[in-house]
Amino acid sequence: MVQHIESVAQWVQQFADILQPERIQWVDGSAEEWETLTQQLVDDGTFIRLNPEKRPNSFLARTDPTDVARVEDRTFICSAREEDAGPTNNWREPGKMREELIEVFRGAMRGRTLYVIPFSMGPIGGDISQVGIQLTDSPYVVVSMHLMTRVDNDRVAEQIANGAEWVPAVHSVGYPLIDENGDARPDVPWPSNPTKYIVQFPETREIWSYGSGYGGNALLGKKCYALRIASAMGHDQGWLAEHMLLIRATSPAGRSYHITAAFPSACGKTNFAMMRPTLPGWKVETLGDDIVWMRPKADGRLYAINPENGFFGVAPGTGVTTNPNAIEALSENVIFTNVALTDDGDVWWEGLTPEVPEHLIDWRGRDWTPSSETPAAHPNSRFTVRADQAPSIAPDWDEPAGVPVDAVLFGGRRRTNTPLVVEARSWRDGVYIGATMASEQTAAAEGTVGQLRRDPFAMLPFCGYNMADYWGHWLEIGETLGEGAPHIFGVNWFRRAADGSFLWPGFGDNSRVIDWISKRLENEVTGESSLLGILPKHEEFELEGTEVSDEDWQALFALDPEAWLHETDDVERYFKIFGSRVPQPLRARLEELQAALEAEANR
């Protein structure tokens, strides 16, 4: 067992001395442990057990209203040198931050249990997988990690004993039950602390998180490990850790394609990952909905795994019409957070059903009716569920070797400018598309909803080192792969007409974009050359069965040189933030695009 490994035992004791818990519990990942902890959470008032006839073995949690999302302004990358963190990350000197954190963590678990969670990101023992150990005082985190990672004391111990690098991660909600004078205070259903730290040390692969019990702030295998730390590991070791979904799309002819896609949070990743195609004969299987690790292998291909074991999805907008596969996955064994409670003990959120219940208890625990001025569910409310409950899950979704990637998609939420789909002419041009991605802000992160922000590769909050160096790493991976590299495409499901309506139906009709992509991969269609890349010709694209008019089609691909010159001016300003570290090939692509647009505008 992992507690018998000397390096682990010493590390746990080191932090136990700082955190001063009442007791230590080594987590084993068993069904019995799940039953015990979920009942404890119900008894403590953190969980509401849902109606077992409606939603067996499922629970609702309500967070403190101040603890509902990622805290990007309190997220730090503590690299040895500030320039290695880059201008898009918050940096603090590692030694000073470590001293500060030790004082913050001192006594943080007095009166509580310190849980030790050994876990694997990816199938245990896979050549792309990695392991870690998280300390936490939150049983909510323990049961959520049961769903989101492979928690297994013995098998993770075996990996570490055989020499596997393991990432140490420590978390506390920052709400001790006994103060420094020995006086006790009562617990609360959702303990947290106004002071928050989400800290990554990329060189030493450490994660320290304090003050929040919510989502990726507390489930440290997710964004902290699987993206921030893993991206730094990938940079050092020649692989990629990406904020991407992963699917297998199989054509009517039986040819399968593995596609990854980077979309910012709340921009349709889960819906795309669990798509039910409307185009006859196509089948889409889910391999992952949020994070992908990719490694070049000896055959010259890029292989991908989903390092997670579950889905931590945004609830609002996920419904019986938009994502029936997700809804079926949520039939049992689910943790819901900050959604509404129905009168018959089930859950509801905006977009779940076309019908709105006449009465609910909202995410804050208050009575709610359709006339209420606030939403019933928090806009960033979540569901947590094992991936293998999705009816769309591929039978080999957790194959340790991974799958070879055929295409990479980049897409944000854009009302204008960006076409429905465009193929990059080269790996360099594809990296440029990813590096210059922009999206309208959503509720999944702090900031003004609707405001446009650059979000390269959908990694802005998640890259564990200098973003410009990250672009350079992608270019290097392309050189390593050569002709075996996946094709890269930009997509945009969200372009709007002048009246504000969506030009593209989206959801299952996105299979039509996959169909055209597959034809490009097979060289069955030529596409049409444009300043941005290769666009589909009207006659190459399957539109039968949609209401997309010829006018809509033209608008979906309209390219205004003046508007795009403004776009490239904005990119130029964005690149200046990174100074001389922007890779020269991306600067060259920007200059080429600007020159071509100026020539087009002056025609």
As annotated, the active-site residues are 267
How far apart (Å, rounded) are the C-alpha atoms in residues 142 and 153? 13
* SS3 state at 21: coil
Burial of 525 from C-beta contacts in 10 A (0-12 / 13-18 / 19+): middle
What residue type is 501 in one-letter code?
Answer: S
Which ranges in 252-338 belong to alpha helices (H)?
269-273, 324-329
How far apart (Å, rounded) are the C-alpha atoms in residues 308 and 453? 27
DSSP, res 602: T
Q: First and final CA of the chain: distance in angstroms?
A: 72
Q: 3-state SS string over 176-241?
A: CCECCCCCECCCCCCCCCCCCEEEEECCCCEEEEECCCCHHHHCCHHHHHHHHHHHHHHHHHCCEE
Tell me which residue of 289, 294, 229 sits closest to 265, measured CA to CA. 289
C-alpha of 150 from chain center: 17
Which token pair is 429? Answer: 């041009």
How far apart (Å, rounded) are the C-alpha atoms in residues 230 and 129? 10
C-alpha of 575 from chain center: 24
Question: What strand order describes the sheet that includes 292-296?
Answer: 240-242, 292-296, 302-305, 403-404
* SS3 state at 150: strand
Give, to the nearest 10 degrees, the angle between helix 467-481 and helix 427-435: 160
Helix (H) or strand (E) holding 86: none
Pairing of strands 166-172, 206-210: parallel
Burial of 199 from C-beta contacts in 10 A (0-12 / 13-18 / 19+): buried
Q: Phi-psi category of 404—alpha, beta or left, where left has phi over 0 and alpha has psi -120 to 50?
A: beta
Radius of gyration of the chain (CA): 24
Residue 432, phi then psi, degrees to nearest 5 = -60, -45
Q: 3-state SS string over 326-362?
A: HHHHCCCCCEEECCEEECCCCEECCCCCCCCCCCEEC
Question: What strand order describes the sheet that includes 310-314?
Answer: 47-49, 59-61, 335-337, 382-386, 310-314
How far apart (Å, rounded) are the C-alpha atoms in residues 241 and 411? 17
CA dihedral sign of residues 406, 472, 244, 525: negative
